[in-house]
A and B are shown apart, each in its own frame.
Chain A
Amino acid sequence: MAQTEKWIKSFEHFSKKITDEKSFLNELDSAIGDGDHGSNLTRGVAAVNEKLEQQSYDNLSDLFKDIGMVLVSKVGGASGPLYGSAFISMAKQSKESDDISSLLSSGLDGITKRGKAETGEKTMVDVWAPAVDALKEGTLDQSVIDSALESTKDMKATKGRASYLGDRSIGHIDPGAQSSAYFFESLLEAGVTDE
């Protein structure tokens, strides 16, 4: 299967997970944010699916750019610019290389630049960074994703709305990390990571 088809397949998995787990994501977000992470992302992936049905793609750059722009314009909040910036960075990088780890590494750059976040701050970066590292080593699997996700539970949030909770943010999985875990699981399931 061509890379673009695998990525589209992967996005289908991602949007199904987000849509199915909308209430769960909202629930995670209620604990440390404002309870709408699932609703916002569901609106975004629905709009992306509509776009992907109308359009056909023969290169990754156009695909990523469209996904990124739709997410930026439909999701809102912080997640829209963060996921959107990831895809827009990947669109730029895909002109240089379609290597999975270099693509996702530039996606991670997009997120950290937009959100000015580092690892350990209880954000989506805490799933993206270890997942990208594992991809570089060729060792990304479900257990890497699971343990990265789980690690956000004990962290204290210092970025985003959850940071206002201080110590009270400890003990909760970060909702952005959870949706990012779905994103990487989808890549595995669609075989994007198989070389």
Chain B
Amino acid sequence: MKKIINQPDQVVDDMLNGLAYAYDSLVRRVPDTTVIARTLDPSGKVGLVSGGGSGHEPSHAGFVGKGMLSAAVAGQVFTSPTPDQILEGIKAADEGQGVFLVIKNYTGDVMNFDMAKELAELEDIEVDSIVVDDDIAVEDSTFTAGRRGVAGTVFMHKILGAAAESGASLKDIKALAEQVNDNLYSIGLALSPATNPEVGKPGFELEDNEIEFGIGIHGEPGYSRENLKPSKELAEEFVSKLKKEVDWSAGDKFAVMVNGMGATPLMEQFVFMNDIRALLDDAEELDLVYRKVGDYMTAIDMAGVSLTLLKIEDVQWIDYLNAPVEVIGW
């Protein structure tokens, strides 16, 4: 393992301090917690809180600020934050209009956020939540813990953040979140695994010429291992998988995100976006009204990309996606 760290078990603490110091006009670290909250004065709006294991930077602290999240709670690397910390995040976000939680669908996250919700209700803070499950690589059946929450979560943050900023109620935000989640689809691939600094070795193994389709953001196994192909063919695999899942016809409006997994250069991500354009825009004639390329939901040093599609059911979502924000990572 070759990483710029000190003690492996101090990585999260050191990272949060560095982040809060570098961007102290946007965010602050709530003392004695793993919560990053925005510096903005409360303005009587619904608070928006997300969080999860660390290692997905800029998710989620990088999306804290005006127009997106009110606070983000960091867990240990690839490990859900604990209910007491999530409760601190909820308190930091509470402006008296209730707090909405954006949870990625992982067993640990769901349990810890549920416990935090129970604790917040004991303190008379109204809390509601969405469990994002956009990863289509996984069968949604009773034989799995359901579809995982991955890069689409960042679109969720952006849309709900803009809605909260415009004064939407907790109930409106819940309805919007459900509608967005129903139209959110992601799929990823890995070229090489991630190494959790606390574990010290890669989470899985791939041969030099091998890739894995359908990988999760902690290196959960995907649906097939194949030899590396040109970007164009990787894009074809994603698009054919998505086409089976998403009901689309020419002219339909979509937001699209090519997301880097942490160790894939932007050069390759733009190459991949160019191939996605050829397939979705030129061939399928979809109207890609909003496009985004970059590292948004990473998996430490995994190499790979994911593709997220959001079917635009309501044109207001485009305004929400385009609304200005003051955050580190958008």
B199 touches A39 (CB 8 A): yes
> How distant is the Cα of A193 from the Cα of B300 in the complex, in angstroms?
45
Residues of A within 8 A of B80 (CB): 76-78, 80
Given known contacts A34-B220, A76-B81, A81 and B145 CB-to-CB distance under 8 angstroms: no
A164 touches B144 (CB 8 A): yes
Most A C-beta atoms less than 10 A away, residue of B79, B80, B196, B220: B79
> How distant is the Cα of A70 from the Cα of B143 in the complex, in angstroms?
32
Query: 8 Å CB contacts to B: which residues of A53-80?
Result: 72-80
Residues of B within 8 A of A74 (CB): 82
Given known contacts A78-B108, A164-B221, A166-B143, A35 and B84 CB-to-CB distance under 8 angstroms: no
Residues of A within 8 A of B78 (CB): 34, 36
Most B C-beta atoms less than 10 A away, residue of A114, A159, A160, A161: A161
Q: Does A40 contact B (CB under 8 A)?
A: yes
Q: Does B198 contact A (CB under 8 A)?
A: yes
Residues of B within 8 A of A158 (CB): 142-144
Most A C-beta atoms less than 10 A away, residue of B80, B85, B148, B204: B80
Size class of the contact patch on chain B: 35 or more
Q: Does B276 contact A (CB under 8 A)?
A: no
Most B C-beta atoms less than 10 A away, residue of A26, A78, A156: A78
A81 touches B83 (CB 8 A): yes
Q: Does B138 contact A (CB under 8 A)?
A: yes
Query: 8 Å CB contacts to A: which residues of B167-222?
Result: 196, 198-199, 203-204, 216, 218-221
Residues of B within 8 A of A80 (CB): 80, 82, 108, 112
- CB of B212, distance to nearest CB on chain A (Å): 12
- CB of A179, distance to nearest CB on chain B (Å): 15
A164 touches B145 (CB 8 A): yes
Q: Is the interface of A mostly helix, strand, loop or mixed?
A: helix
- CB of B15, distance to nearest CB on chain A (Å): 16
Query: 8 Å CB contacts to A: which residues of B69-124?
Result: 75-85, 106-108, 111-112, 115
Q: Does B268 contact A (CB under 8 A)?
A: no
Q: Does A163 contact B (CB under 8 A)?
A: yes
Residues of A within 8 A of B84 (CB): 72-73
A78 touches B107 (CB 8 A): yes
Residues of A within 8 A of B221 (CB): 164-165, 168
> How distant is the Cα of A40 from the Cα of B219 in the complex, in angstroms?
18
Query: 8 Å CB contacts to B: which residues of A157-177?
Result: 158-161, 163-166, 168
> How distant is the Cα of A164 from the Cα of B53 in the complex, in angstroms?
18
A36 touches B196 (CB 8 A): yes
Residues of A within 8 A of B142 (CB): 158
Closest residue on chain A to residue B220 by CB atoms: A164
A39 touches B112 (CB 8 A): no
Closest residue on chain B to residue A39 by CB atoms: B198
Query: 8 Å CB contacts to B: which residues of A7-39?
Result: 26, 30, 34-36, 39
- CB of B73, distance to nearest CB on chain A (Å): 11
Q: Does A43 contact B (CB under 8 A)?
A: yes
Closest residue on chain B to residue A160 by CB atoms: B107
Residues of A within 8 A of B83 (CB): 72-73, 81
Q: Does B9 contact A (CB under 8 A)?
A: yes
Given known contacts A34-B219, A36-B79, A81 and B199 CB-to-CB distance under 8 angstroms: no
When the two chains form the complex, which single residue of A30, A115, A156 contacts B107, counting CB atoms closer than 8 Å?
A: A115
Most B C-beta atoms less than 10 A away, residue of A40, A76, A165, A166: A76
Given known contacts A115-B107, A115-B111, A75 and B82 CB-to-CB distance under 8 angstroms: yes
B82 touches A76 (CB 8 A): yes
Residues of B within 8 A of A77 (CB): 53, 75, 79-80, 108
When the two chains form the complex, which single residue of A34, A73, A115 contacts B218, counting CB atoms closer than 8 Å?
A: A34
A160 touches B196 (CB 8 A): no
A26 touches B144 (CB 8 A): no
- CB of A69, distance to nearest CB on chain B (Å): 8
A164 touches B107 (CB 8 A): no
User: Interface readout for B207-242 with A: 1 if CB under 8 Å, 0 if not?
Assistant: 000000000101111000000000000000000000
Which B residues contact A (CB, under 8 angstroms)?
9, 53, 75-85, 106-108, 111-112, 115, 138, 142-145, 148, 196, 198-199, 203-204, 216, 218-221
18 sampled A-B residue pairs with Cβ under 8 A: A36-B196, A36-B199, A39-B198, A40-B76, A40-B79, A72-B82, A72-B84, A73-B83, A74-B82, A76-B112, A80-B82, A156-B143, A158-B142, A158-B144, A160-B107, A161-B106, A161-B218, A163-B143
Pairs of residues from A and B, 5 with the lowest C-beta to C-beta distance, nearest first: A78-B108, A81-B111, A77-B108, A163-B144, A76-B79
Contacts beyond the supplied A36-B77, A158-B143: 14 A-B pairs with Cβ under 8 Å: A30-B199, A36-B76, A36-B78, A36-B79, A43-B76, A73-B82, A74-B82, A76-B79, A115-B107, A160-B145, A161-B220, A164-B144, A164-B148, A166-B144
